[in-house]
Structure 1
């Protein structure tokens, strides 16, 4: 079997901690090129992975040997670089959030269809063992009717993880567009859609309270109503200074599922009859190198290419999760509940 030849565009933390190491250990992948506007950074990465170094991504896209690219760039560049890559006949794995507007996201999907190439959005929460197990339990009917949920993703902020620290693009509104909602909230929007179906309405309070000298959001609390009628909350925060929170709790007729809410058990079910069941599963990935585990995103993307099948998180899925975040921002501005299908195509 011929190896999938990959290029990684953008060599910041997400590329160096997730994409590149996971491509490296996949036996069906060869990393042939890396690209970053910081010459010293890309030179170091290229040497480490035995790849060619570039500072202009368009030169990378001209390489006929490249089959697929990872787009690991600031949010405002996701659409333009992804579309250029698709038009260059490359498959694309794009970091989240997919784009900064629905128009951009639609253009990305249209480019994928026109060029008959795959686009996958790097929403990794669907691949977490506890989340996969929870989906099976919910769909089996074991919990009975689902009543409510809460899902949270918070940590101390990207200055503690981004390769550029406090000067990172994450804090520049023109480059990031959104803060904690785009960094963390969109992951949880994708997860809750994966577990419970589509979101129909959103109400939100979105604030900048923990970080100075930035106008991007660092705290958001959203109320989501699902098409099924289930209501719950989604929280995204960069203000958790003493540790992170990446938990989800789902309340059902017959019991409650806790996901990633216990240091020893990734999934716990407390039944209303008093019975408790605890599952020890693969731990969720973290930004702590000691706790770093594979996200499975890379392997899934590569398999989709090799076996010519749709990835789990297609561009169509990515746009639906983006809609939740855009609806939250609109709700915060309008001080009204926003219906998902009513938001403007350009936010």
Structure 2
């Protein structure tokens, strides 16, 4: 049984998974009087030692069971998405409250298991979503609710995924991302899409119908980006939204984080409000602009550092990491979705399969936990290689990384013996003779 909240003292926090997303998550704990990091866990002992320098008094573990036996109140789960269900359920069973990174799970069945585990342990389970704590987006919502642009008439989100600029992401992270893509959980539509779909529901409520056109761009052997893509939906209020995604691998986008050029715009009956940037620095314009009554007004003094939204979401009153609040509610299963996840009453089938059909008890497991499900991969398709079935050496992984960067950055690398081996390995996958491998537990 988890310790009841509030505690009347700082929350004792343990963090499992010390990959790239860790750098953003800890922003909410540095200098936080309501929480203290007392335990760290990662399978990579070198990474554990390096990250541990930031928390000299925290216990360090390379074994999950030993970590979960530590005296903590709350566990931050930052492991790759394929391991969310396993780690979250174990943490809840061990008597800890849990914050887990989005996406919540790979399947609805996993999400149901996590929610059931939280209910059984009488513990708080929260899926983290930083976009709704990003100040420019919060101002956009305030403008819409104020009526300054009139009744809202439409929502448009645009993103350009670029290949240059921003921070370095370890190859191990890209590896499991692309393994997920091989199971129709694309890096843009599914992983990043969680943010966009969450913003849409946060602004305008439940969704009743979704349409999508999901593209595929092969950028290397077995490496596919799910773009160009366009998703359109209708909220139960009748308001419609769109999300347009373009892949521009040669574009330089200055960013302290990921290199996504993102824009959000709500059009009203008498004007519009738009956010000009989010994750990356994007356009050097006011972060928020409002057009109404023939005048354009800009907001120049907002905290538009995307990293700040991670700090704000962790410290929000009433959430598990805020020891003096009441805690977040345990997730609950909703029709067509799980917990606080978006609902999808209709699903777009693969091309040629006919009109979209209603989600039923028999097919709901096939529906993504986000607004839409990417059409099922077709093993015979020459545009998709199930990279989860490749068993490669460290040398081959390095070569795959080199081929990836040479593709997205526009350079040209001469073929090597290793690259030829990698191509042969991928060819075996196409033939169905390669063995499966589990993704690396690094985010």
* Structure 1 contact 154–245 (Cα < 8 Å) conserved: yes
Confirm or deny: 8 A CA contact 1:135 1:195 kept in the other structure: yes
Instruction: Give the equivalent residue in structure 2 for 1:345.
Output: 364
Q: Does 1:187 align with 2:195?
A: yes
Aligned to 2:232: 223
Is 1:310 the counterpart of 2:328 in the alignment?
yes
* Counterpart for residue 18 of structure 2: 11
Contact 1:169 1:175 in 2 (8 A): no
**1:201 touches 1:340 (CA, 8 Å); kept in 2?**
no
For residue 188 of structure 1, report the CA deviation from its aligned partner.
0.4
The structure with the largest alpha-carbon Rg is 2
In the alignment, what sits opposite 2:315?
Answer: 299
1:196 alignment counterpart: 204
Decide which of 43, 63, 66 is 1:37's aligned counterpart.
43
Matches within 5 A, 1:258-273: 258-261=274-277, 262-271=283-292, 273=293
Judging changes above 3 Å, is the alpha-carbon distance between structure 1 residues 338 and 43 closer, same or farther for their aligned structure 2 residues? farther
C-alpha displacement of 1:316: 6.2
Given that 1:184 and 1:236 are in contact with CA atoms closer than 8 Å, whether structure 2 keeps it comes out as no
Unaligned runs of 5+ residues in structure 1 are: 287-291
What is the CA distance between 1:325 and its match in structure 2? 8.3
TM-score normalized by the length of structure 1: 0.85
Higher helix share: 1
The 8 Å contact of residues 211 and 232 in structure 2, kept in 1 or not, is answered as: yes
How far the C-alpha of 1:138 sits from its partner, in A, is 2.0
Secondary structure of the corresponding residue to residue 25 of structure 1:
coil
* Structure 2 unaligned regions, length at least 5: 1-7, 254-259, 278-282, 367-443
What does 1:121-270 correspond to in 2, within 5 Å?
121-156=127-162, 161-164=168-171, 167-173=174-180, 177-209=185-217, 211-214=219-222, 217-219=225-227, 220-236=229-245, 239=248, 241-243=251-253, 244-261=260-277, 262-270=283-291
CA distance in 2, matches of 1:105, 1:96: 11
Choose 153-162 or 216-225, whichever is displaced more.
153-162
Aligned positions of 1:9-88 closer than 5 A: 9-15=16-22, 17-50=23-56, 51-63=58-70, 65-88=71-94
Note the C-alpha offset of 1:314.
5.6
Mean CA deviation greater in 157-166 or 192-201: 157-166
Aligned-pair CA distance for 1:211: 2.9
Partners of 2:127 and 2:286 lie apart in 1 by 28
Contact 1:86 1:112 in 2 (8 A): yes
* Length-normalised TM-score, structure 2: 0.68
Cα gap change, 1:179 to 1:94, in 2 (>3 Å): same
For residue 231 of structure 1, report the CA deviation from its aligned partner: 1.5
Does the aligned pair in 2 maintain the 1:201–1:226 contact within 8 Å?
A: yes
Distance 1:152 1:45, change over 3 A: same
* Aligned-residue RMSD, C-alpha: 3.1
